[in-house]
Chain A
Amino acid sequence: MAKKNINFLYQNLIKVRFKIILPLLLLTIIPYFSFIWVIAFNPMYFGTIIKNTNISIGILLGFLLILLIFLITLVYVYLANKKLEPLIFAIKND
């Protein structure tokens, strides 16, 4: 019985972790390679100055990308502590 329970908890942990990691991983890889892609194929677009400012689209997006990367790490730590740790704790106790 106990063994079955652990197995269930463990499978659940893997499932929950996967659900947390996958979107965050895509959110890291896709914006980054899109950024690099525009630099390679359409650099002029990034040079466009945003209306009523002196800041170019590329620089603004670059700053936002740095912010996004940091947010991803924060969101993961928050979700992992809240959702994964209780599951891990339960497995360790069983």
Chain B
Amino acid sequence: MINFILSHTSIMMFIFFVAITLYITYWASKRTQTAKGFYTAGGNITGLQNGLAISGDFMSAASFLGISGLVFLTGFDGLIYSIGFLIGWPIILLLIAEPLRNLGQYSFADVVSFRLQQKPIRILAACGSLSTVILYLIAQMVGAGKLIELLFNLPYEYAVIIVGGLMILYVTFGGMLATTWVQIIKAILLLSGATLIAFLVLAEFNFNFNILFAEAVNTHKKGLSIMSPGGLISDPVSAISLGLALMFGTAGLPHILMRFFTVSDAIQARKSVAYATGFIGYFYILTFIIGFGAIILVSNNPEYLSELGQLIGNNNMAAIHLSHAVGGDILLGFISAVAFATILAVVSGLTLAGASSISHDLYANAFLKGKQDEKKEMFVSKISTIFLGILAMFLGIIFEEQNVAFMVGLAFAIAASTNFPILILAIYWKNLTTRGAIVGGSAGLFSSILLVILGPVIWVDIFNFSSPIFPYKYPALFSMSITFLGIFIFSKFDTTKSSFLEKNLFDRQFMRSQTGVGIDKIITH
């Protein structure tokens, strides 16, 4: 049996990573005195740096371990998720990245409320952002606790508190600048670690994919069926619904959208998406190779199996065991430390997005109605960071024994049904009014939550009812239709005075979104 306690390498590497990131936080804290510094790292991150940071935000431990674990378990089906997580990027690039950069300052709510009424729109956007962020945070926290418990042999609660504590330090003192550099370092570590494992796996098979796949089919108990789609999607409604959630959910994730304000202009925003897509796509190809490698090198090796013949830990540990199988204790230590770093970076990005939603959207713009008071806003953002960090630790401990896999799916559904529609229509649809956005957006938010609760994942698997009220696992097709329909009807029949004003402001907003003309005025105040 593999002995995680003896893994001194991983502890050394982890301490090294924490030391470096805390030094960066200290360095960043001296440069993060203004709101602009806190939210956008000063706005001078380059396209390549931001591309790495975006991929750092997006390549979570859940996607590294989860997707390679899914490939290990089912083969082909892992690829469906990989492609789904990648397909949102061209959408972001073609439709959102540049207008977002040209219209917004700190958060995507800036863009939605550009010509609409500040208070209600900010509150709606904050509800969408915070529900996405908190669901995502819980899933990450529980995953982190379990992983660290296993890798470093620490009690679950300690693991959650260490992650939460470090994340509060990074974000409170280092803001976006520290978070960005933590993301960049982590992305480089994760990409190199995964590359190394995949390289060592391929080396075992003479870099010949035919041999790799043939061996995997021979080894896996499902045989040839790992080469074809399995049970992940079985009916067309689920297929389209999952497809929509993944495609448009990515374009509604607040921590991803926030990254576009860290670059200087639309040109850099554009470049950063291309870099990010390249890194993330490459990473998913690696996880696929890693999953297949684990089928061959881990699934029959008694060293990695419990007495019942199950993988030690769970199927999500396939990549970790594989790193030991191909690279011994040193690589295992390195990959464990990378997994920990990955979790820290992702939760920091999420917390920052959540905190800025509270301080910038709720406090500064909805509550103070935009009366600039930077000092107070900074103070609130730091308090919100600490509050969110403690909330995440608390929820992480509460949900320890729960199945939290559905939470990321729900976060994507909310992002696709609330954040994405109001953002895209605010940018491109002249007739969008405050009333339409509020009615449609909140209908989307509530319906996606309700449909997940009434669906098979919660109603049957968690509440133990015999059959679900809503038959599909993925709500996006329905909740997104509700949102768009609601927005359309309530905007079209909106005859209030303010709605005419909002429609009239569209042309100027559109010109600015397309050209960036007028952007300097806001940035140099």
Contacts and interface: CB of A to CB of B under 8 A. Distances in A.
Interface of A: 10, 13-14, 17, 21, 24-25, 28-29, 32-33, 35-37, 39-41, 43-44, 46-47, 49, 53-56, 58-59, 62-63, 65-67, 69-70, 72-74, 76-77, 80-81, 85, 88, 91-92
Contacts of B82: 62, 66
A47 B229 CA distance: 7
A41 B237 CA distance: 11
A52 to B, nearest CB: 9
Contact of B240 (A13, A28, A33): A33
B517 interface: yes
A66 B76 contact: no
A73 B277 contact: yes
Nearest to A20: B94
On chain B, which size bracket covers the interface?
A: 35 or more
A59 B89 CA distance: 21
A77 B277 CA distance: 12
Contacts of A37: 236, 239
B40 to A, nearest CB: 22
Interface string B203-235: 000000111011001000000110111101111
A80 B270 contact: yes
B460 interface: no
B214 A36 contact: no
Contact of B94 (A28, A44, A62, A63): A28
Interface of B: 76, 79-80, 82-83, 86-87, 89-91, 93-95, 209-211, 213-214, 217, 224-225, 227-230, 232-236, 238-240, 242-243, 247, 267, 270-271, 273-274, 277-278, 281, 284-285, 511, 514-517
Contacts of A36: 80, 233, 239-240, 242-243
Nearest to B271: A77
Most chain B CB atoms below 10 A, which of A55, A69, A74, A85:
A69
Contacts of A33: 240, 243
Contacts of B213: 54-55, 59
A21 B95 contact: yes
A72 B86 CA distance: 12
B93 A73 contact: yes
A13 B83 contact: no
A80 B86 CA distance: 21
Q: Chain A interface mostly helix, strand, loop or mixed?
A: helix
A47 to B, nearest CB: 3
Contact of B90 (A24, A80, A85): A24
Contacts of A29: 247
10 contacts: A25-B91, A33-B243, A39-B233, A39-B239, A46-B76, A46-B228, A54-B209, A67-B281, A69-B277, A73-B274
Contacts of A81: 267, 270
Contact of B238 (A24, A40, A41, A65): A40
Given A25-B94, A47-B225, A59 B278 contact: no
B90 A59 contact: no
A54 B281 CA distance: 23
B76 A41 contact: no
B256 to A, nearest CB: 15
A10 B507 CA distance: 12
A65 to B, nearest CB: 6
A13 B517 CA distance: 13
B429 to A, nearest CB: 15
Given A39-B229, A46-B229, A47-B225, A14 B514 contact: yes
Contact of B236 (A24, A41, A47, A74): A41
A44 B228 contact: yes
Nearest to A41: B236
Most chain A CB atoms below 10 A, which of B227, B229, B278:
B229
B233 A77 contact: no
Contacts of A41: 236
A74 B274 contact: yes
B518 to A, nearest CB: 10
Contact of A47 (B80, B89, B228, B238): B228
A36 B246 CA distance: 12
Contacts of B285: 63, 66
B83 A65 contact: yes
Given A66-B284, A76-B93, A81-B267, A56 B243 contact: no
Contacts of A10: 511, 514-515
A32 B76 contact: no
A47 B380 CA distance: 55
Given A37-B239, A66-B281, A69-B89, 14 more contacts: A24-B94, A25-B94, A28-B90, A32-B87, A37-B236, A39-B229, A40-B239, A41-B236, A49-B224, A54-B213, A65-B83, A66-B83, A69-B83, A76-B90
Contact of A62 (B83, B91, B234): B83
A76 B278 CA distance: 13
B29 to A, nearest CB: 34
B229 A69 contact: no
B365 to A, nearest CB: 28
Nearest to A78: B274
Q: Please give me the 8 A-B residue pairs with the lowest Cβ-Cβ distance, nearest first.
A: A47-B228, A40-B239, A56-B227, A43-B229, A73-B274, A54-B214, A62-B79, A28-B90
Contact of A69 (B76, B87, B242): B87
Contacts of B281: 66-67, 69-70
